[in-house]
């Protein structure tokens, strides 16, 4: 596999990042390779006794059959459903991009690490940086997830001149027909969602490398 890390981000919150990341993880693992999921910070967690349970990270935990502890997949958690930066400030904790990088290094060796950010690519992720700063710091090619709607191409081009768009119009349903497969270009991943028919023969999207 060419890349050891992939960063999953979006043009906004609730665009389907977790759905895309989960299917990428399952697809790679189905090929006999090991994936290390990583979501550095998650807000809006549920409290169970004295422990905060993260929703998205729990999905990844189950996707790899609980091979890696939930604490390593998701080291920082907050109860309130607000932005990570706001949650960090309210808690009066000192959490920086460098802290996420250190926690990333605690993951066990695997064929590839799939990292999901929080919110949009240019949303604040720590006291000193945004999602895009973490992606650049760890030198990870980025998948930018966006809704299939008018203006989405312009929205994506604001982040990079190398478009990175995943169509999530049919999000969130999944079935066995959902696949993530290599596309013709070695720098491209292709995600195909086949749950619902559209005016196109297939729901094909291309995900290109961004730096």
Q: Are 164 and 210 in contact (CB under 8 A)?
A: yes
Cis geometry, peptide bond prior to residue 172 (ω within 30 degrees of 0):
yes
Residues contacting 110, CB < 8 A, separation 6+: 33, 34, 35, 36
| Burial annotation 28-52 (CB, 10 A radius, 16+ → b, else e) | bbeeeeebbbbbbbbbbbeeeeeeb
Q: How far apart are CA 206 and CA 182, in angstroms?
A: 10
Catalytic residue of the set 39, 47, 89, 176: 39
Cβ within 8 Å of residue 5, ≥6 positions away = 112, 113, 114, 115, 138, 139, 140, 141
Annotated active-site residue 17? The verdict is: no
3-state secondary structure of 48: strand
Q: Which residues are marked as active site? A: 39
């Amino acid at each position: 596999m060419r890349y050891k890390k992939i960063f999953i981000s979006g043009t906004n919150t609730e665009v389907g990042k977790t759905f895309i990341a989960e299917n990428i993880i399952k697809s790679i693992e189905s090929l006999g390779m090991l994936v290390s999921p990583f979501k550095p910070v998650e807000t809006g967690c549920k409290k169970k006794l004295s422990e905060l349970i993260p929703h998205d990270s729990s999905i990844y935990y189950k996707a790899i059959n609980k091979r890696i502890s939930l604490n390593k997949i998701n080291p920082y958690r907050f109860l309130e459903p607000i932005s990570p930066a706001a949650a960090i400030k309210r808690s009066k904790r000192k959490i920086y991009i460098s802290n996420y990088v250190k926690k990333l290094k605690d993951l066990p060796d695997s064929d590839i690490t799939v990292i999901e950010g929080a919110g949009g690519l240019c949303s604040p992720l720590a006291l000193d940086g945004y999602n895009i700063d973490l992606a650049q710091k760890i030198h990870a090619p980025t998948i930018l997830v966006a809704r299939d709607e008018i203006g989405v191409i312009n929205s994506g081009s604001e982040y990079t001149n190398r478009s990175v768009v995943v169509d999530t119009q049919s999000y969130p349903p999944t079935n066995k027909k959902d696949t993530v497969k290599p596309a013709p270009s070695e720098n491209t991943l292709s995600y195909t969602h086949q749950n619902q028919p559209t005016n196109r023969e297939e729901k094909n999207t291309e995900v290109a490398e961004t730096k």
